Amino acid sequence: MEVRKLASIQYINGVTSIEGADRIECVHVLGWQCVANKGEFKPGDKCIYMEVDSFLPVCEQFEFLRDGCYKKDEALGEGFRLRTRKFRGQISQGMVQPLSILPEGDYQIGDDVTEILGIRKWEVGETVITNGTVAGRFPGDIPKTNELRVQSYPELIEAFKKVKGYYISTKINGTSLTIYFLYGHFGVCGRNYEYVDNDKCAMWTYAHKHQIPEKMAEHHMGDIAIQGEFCGAGIQRNRLRLTSPEWYIFTMIDLKTHERLPLAKMQELCGLLELNMVPVEEMKNQFKYNSVEELLERAKGKYPTGITKEGIVIRPLVPVYSEIIDGPLSMKVINNDYLLKE
């Protein structure tokens, strides 16, 4: 499965002017748009593209970011966080830098330079959210929840046009929860860790309250991993305004074949387990979207609470393999209105 590259070598696809701006302009990389100094790049140039959510180290070459991007986090330490911003009315996502900030080398398009630059992903510490006691790392034989953004892989749009049937679901903003039953062992995991079964862990408390271990055993759901977004008070600002925790399922995996289950099968099993799925907003036979811009417009909207939603996730009705991302075909589109508020 393709891993998200926070910093990679890419081409400048185009440069557009900003009305009334003398010193800055928009540069376009993959499906992204960034604001850069005027005249710094031209179409066809190689560059380093750093995605939003990159957490850059404190060093001389990034010191110019201090005023707007400096963050200090208990887990991550000091650094500069890249996020979606607006300059002169233009959305800027991530940052473009010249190759000259890298050590000498023969860099090719697509090369991942995240580690070379000491860049990490900005994210809230998992145990801060769950309050759980860590039992170990996330199981290596279960794929992690990971959707790649369409702006980083715009060629996925054409891949979806070849698929017979797709669906669009609402992207719920919570924290990742995986529950699995394998070789007689029932496990509960966040994004990076498995947790001890005790009353300190909100995820385990939820599993017991809803009798998920018993129901999975009753319906012979061994060798299955269920993944979804765990939401509630104290988690990602609780945008759904929940008074008690909820879990919204978006993936089920057959651990014997390591394949995702089709949407219809997930809906069936969620019914048996009395679990919620993420809301399905659209389901059609032929993919009708032609550009990143169309999908960004489609991703706009609000949750039932009236709060701006995070975005959408797009998948085939029946999972198919994608050579582009070396894994199941899927993509997410984050709502720019949400990112600007965030």
Same domain, 200 and 112: no
pLDDT above 90 coverage of the chain, percent: 82
pLDDT band for 192, please (50, 70, 90 cuts). confident
Domain limit, last residue, from 89, 121, 153: 121
pLDDT value for 146? 78
Residue type at position 259: E
SS (H, E, C) 127-153: HHHHCCCEEEECCCCCCCCCCCECCCC
Could you tell me how many helices (H) and strands (E) the chain has, helices first? 8, 26
pLDDT per residue as tens digits for the range 282-337: 999 999 999 999 999 999 999 999 999 999 999 999 999 999 999 999 999 999 99
Residue type at position 54: S
SS3 content of the chain, % helix, strand, coil (to 5): 20, 35, 45
pLDDT band for 31, please (50, 70, 90 cuts). very high
Q: Is residue 1 part of a domain?
A: no
pLDDT value for 52? 93
pLDDT band for 212, please (50, 70, 90 cuts). very high
pLDDT value for 125? 62
For the beta carbon of residue 252, count every other beta carbon within 10 angstroms: 23
pLDDT per residue as tens digits for the range 87-122: 988 999 999 999 999 999 999 999 999 999 999 998
d(CA 7, CA 120): 10
Q: CB under 8 Å to 312, separation ≥6 — which residues?
A: 168, 169, 170, 171, 281, 295, 298, 299, 332, 333, 335
Same domain, 83 and 148: no
pLDDT band for 130, please (50, 70, 90 cuts). low
Same domain, 315 and 196: yes
Same domain, 55 and 196: no
Is the model's pLDDT at 228 over the cut of 90? yes
Same domain, 268 and 291: yes
pLDDT value for 171? 97
pLDDT value for 127? 53
Residue 110 lies in domain: 7-121
Domain limit, last residue, from 121, 147, 168: 121
Domain limit, last residue, from 121, 150, 171: 121
pLDDT above 70 coverage of the chain, percent: 97
Is the model's pLDDT at 144 over the cut of 90? no
**The CATH number of the domain where 236 resides is what?**
3.30.470.30
pLDDT band for 341, please (50, 70, 90 cuts). confident
